[in-house]
Amino acid sequence: MFERLEQLAARYDEVTHLLSDPAIINNQERYRELSKEHSELSPLVQAYEKYKKTKNDAQNLRELVGSSDDAEMRELAAVELQEAENALIRLEDELKALLIPKDPNDDKDCILEIRAGTGGEEAALFAADLFRMYTRFAERSGWKAELMDWNDTGLGGFKEVVFAMRGKHAYGMLKFESGVHRVQRVPDTEAQGRVHTSAATVAVLPEVEDVEVDINPADLQFDTYRAGGKGGQNVNKVETAVRITHRPSGIVVACQQERSQFQNRERAMKMLRAKLYEQGLKEQTEAITAQRRSMVKSGDRSDKIRTYNFPQNRMTDHRIGLTLYNLNEIIDGKLEDVIEALTMADRAEKLQASET
């Protein structure tokens, strides 16, 4: 580990020097690449420098404890030595965590797809609640949520809704939301007050650029249709909505949010690239995920990841055994504690895997 840390520290110094080179400064693309690398290496190098200083302090204290003729001085040094050794353990754990390879998709924007599952209209209403929960979380995070496609029930629910999240670390923060979300509550239509169980699925896809996915235009089928719902004067009159079918994979995407066919086509292509990227990524990681059962699962639609129990004001995430009794706040977009717990669990699992 420490050999790797020395290499990264040397690279950090090299990048720092390069960023002051006039030739690099005049090459904006290269300058951005190096600035990003510098920013990513900085926390690791700072933690390593702190570790080395603490280790040196501990060594000096150890020598003082063994050589001082002053009993009081030895006692004080022994106390400080214990504190330094405890700090070394914490710093080493921090360095191990920082050395875990970062998911290259974490900094990307993402696309969320929510679909009503079992439960009829109540499941559609729950899908709408999840949509509101994530859009409220976007507001709390200073992100922008952009509606892309939807199929509503006319009663306030969604059979399906697709939207983009644009903001800092959007995919990295939301990627563990993929899976089956279950709700337990008394529907408004239930006259006898019985609790019903319904479900909705959530899929979170990293949004990727054209260069990351190779799509043959000959493999695409484009269809247009009239958008539904309220909107501008062209809605329901002109075929502005776009549906794209990728023939080799059978993937179908659609977008009806924008008023022009061109804009909807561009958004639909973003959705298609995200889906094809996810498909390729899943194929690449199947061999790895088959070897060890992930504490925080990959988001397979068959996994029931979470239960929202309204009568008890309780949310339980089944993957990590997390139970919180502030469901009213969570469903209103206060997801920070949930996301932090999932992230920490994923990091702990990866740390354990790296040590075996």
Both 114 and 251 in one domain: the answer is yes
For residues 80 and 118, membership in a common domain is answered with no
355 domain residue, yes or no: no
81 and 204 in a single domain? The answer is no
Domain-embedded: residue 325: yes
> How far is it, in rounded angstroms, from Cα 253 to Cα 221?
11
| Tens digit of each residue's pLDDT (9 = 90 or more) over 185-204 | 988 766 677 888 999 999 89
Last residue of a domain, one of 62, 78, 99: 99
Tell me the residue type at 95: L
Choose the most confident range, by mean pLDDT, from 25-39, 220-234, 298-312: 25-39
- pLDDT by residue (tens digit) across 54-90? 999 889 888 888 887 778 888 888 889 899 999 998 8
The mean-pLDDT minimum among 141-150, 205-214, 335-344 falls in 205-214
Pairwise CA distance, residues 279 & 268, whole Å: 17
Joined tokens for residue 137 = 């979380």
Shared-domain flag, residues 27 and 137: no
Block residue for tokens 């997801």: 335
* Residue 104 belongs to some domain of the structure: no
pLDDT band at 288 (very low <50, low <70, confident <90, very high): very low
CA–CA dist 305, 308 (Å, integer)? 10
Task: Find all residues with CB under 8 Å of 269, minimum gap 6, and list them.
Answer: 244
CATH code at position 73: 1.20.58
Do both 124 and 257 map to the same domain?
Answer: yes
The residue ranking higher by pLDDT, 45 or 301, is: 45
Kindly state whether residues 304 and 171 are assigned to the same domain: yes
> What does the DSSP 8-state code read for residue 198?
E
**Distance spanning both ends of the chain, measured CA to CA:** 14
pLDDT at residue 210, rounded to an integer: 55
Whether residue 235 has pLDDT greater than 50: no
Q: Is the pTM of this model over 0.75?
A: no
Both 152 and 212 in a single domain?
yes
Same-domain pairing of 94 and 119: no
Q: What residues contact 187, with CB distance under 8 A and at least 6 apart?
A: 121, 122, 125, 196
The total of structural domains in the chain comes to 2
CA distance 210 to 274: 10
95 part of a folded domain: yes
pLDDT given at position 283: 64
Distance CA(151)–CA(114), nearest Å, equals 11
Mean pLDDT over 81-100 rounds to: 86
What does DSSP say about strands 158-166 and 110-116: parallel, antiparallel, or unpaired? antiparallel
Determine the structural domain holding residue 157 and report its residue range. Answer: 110-350
How many helices (DSSP H) and strands (DSSP E) are in the chain?
9, 11
Cβ-based neighbours of 182, under 8 Å, separated by 6 or more: 197, 198, 199, 304, 306, 307, 308
Q: What CATH number did the domain enclosing 225 receive? A: 3.30.70.1660
Note whether 127 and 9 are same-domain residues. no
Give residue 28's identity as a one-letter amino acid code. Answer: Q
Please tell me the predicted confidence (pLDDT) of residue 142. 94
Whether 189 contacts 195, CB under 8 Å:
no
- Amino acid symbol at 245: T
Q: Tell me if 45 is assigned to some domain.
A: yes
In a domain, 115, yes or no: yes
Q: Report which of residues 105 and 101 the model is more confident about.
A: 105
105 found inside a domain: no
User: Does residue 27 form part of some domain?
Assistant: yes
pLDDT surpasses 60 at 299: no
Of 80, 99, 118, which closes a domain? 99
Do residues 265 and 293 share a domain? yes
